[in-house]
């Protein structure tokens, strides 16, 4: 994957990845931190569509149009930092909803990504937390709770905002 859409390098970097793909040295190629504007730019000269786009995805930085644009173009979204590194663990809405499902706020955040059709990559160095973060396939979040969670947007990000790279 291209890690960041660095403005002076993204076109030639994608071309290099396409060469590796066409030579069958890579099974699939993708991008990271690409928003619609970056993808539209890529589509102008690309021969291969990215298989995956990894960008930050939590209710706190959720941009529904960006998710939809990837899905319309058959690019698998992979959401990183789904747990917002724990910064939001005391959020009142998160806690209220998580408690109703009998889940932790961390599990709720992982499941929220899955409900959106994203692949998600929560990270922990602790075995018990890795286990906890995996136990998200025995419940689903009701549409009205998804709506409530999506309203938590406040542009909190653990990494840079890709819009700074337009
Ligand atoms: N493409 C990009 O530009 C980009 C940018 C940033 C991150 N990423 C990737 O995204 C992945 C995850 O991102 P991230 O590590 O920044 O954020 P994250 O997964 O949202 O949060 C990880 C933090 O949450 C803690 N944590 C995990 N599970 C927990 C639980 N059940 N209860 C309490 N605390 C818990 C971890 O602490 P402990 O380890 O102590 O449990 C760690 O400090 C990584 O693989 C990273 O490489 C990609």
Contact 17, 2 (CB under 8 A): yes
Which of 38, 53, 86, 159 gets mutated to test ligand 1 (max ligand atoms within 8 A of its CB)? 86
Q: At 29, list the tokens.
A: 């190629």
- Helices 105-115 and 127-134, packing angle to 10 deg: 40
Tokens of 64: 């529904």
Q: Give the pLDDT of residue 7.
A: 83
Regions of the chain with pLDDT less than 50:
none
Cβ–ligand 1 distance for 84 under 6 Å, the answer: yes
For the chain, report the end-to-end CA distance as a whole number of angstroms. 18
Residue whose structure tokens are 């973060």 = 133
Ligand 1 pocket test target in 122, 131, 159 with most atoms within 8 Å of CB: 122
For the chain, the domains span: 81-153
Q: Which two tokens stand for residue 161?
A: 């905002």
pLDDT at 166: 83
């Amino acid at each position: 994957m291209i890690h960041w859409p660095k403005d002076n390098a993204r076109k030639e970097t994608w071309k290099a990845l396409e060469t590796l793909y066409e030579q069958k040295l890579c099974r699939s190629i993708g991008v990271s931190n690409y928003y619609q504007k970056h993808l539209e730019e890529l589509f102008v000269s690309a021969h291969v569509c990215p298989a995956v786009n990894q960008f930050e995805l939590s209710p706190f930085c959720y941009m529904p149009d960006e998710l939809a644009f990837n899905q319309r173009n058959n690019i698998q979204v992979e959401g990183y930092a789904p747990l917002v590194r724990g910064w939001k663990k005391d959020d009142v809405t998160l806690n209220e909803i998580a408690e109703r499902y009998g889940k932790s706020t961390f599990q709720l955040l992982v499941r929220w990504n899955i409900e959106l059709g994203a692949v998600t990559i929560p990270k922990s160095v602790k075995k018990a937390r890795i286990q906890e973060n995996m136990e998200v396939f025995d419940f689903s979040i009701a549409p009205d709770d998804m709506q409530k969670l999506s309203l938590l947007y406040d542009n909190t990000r653990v990494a840079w905002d890709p819009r700074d790279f337009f």
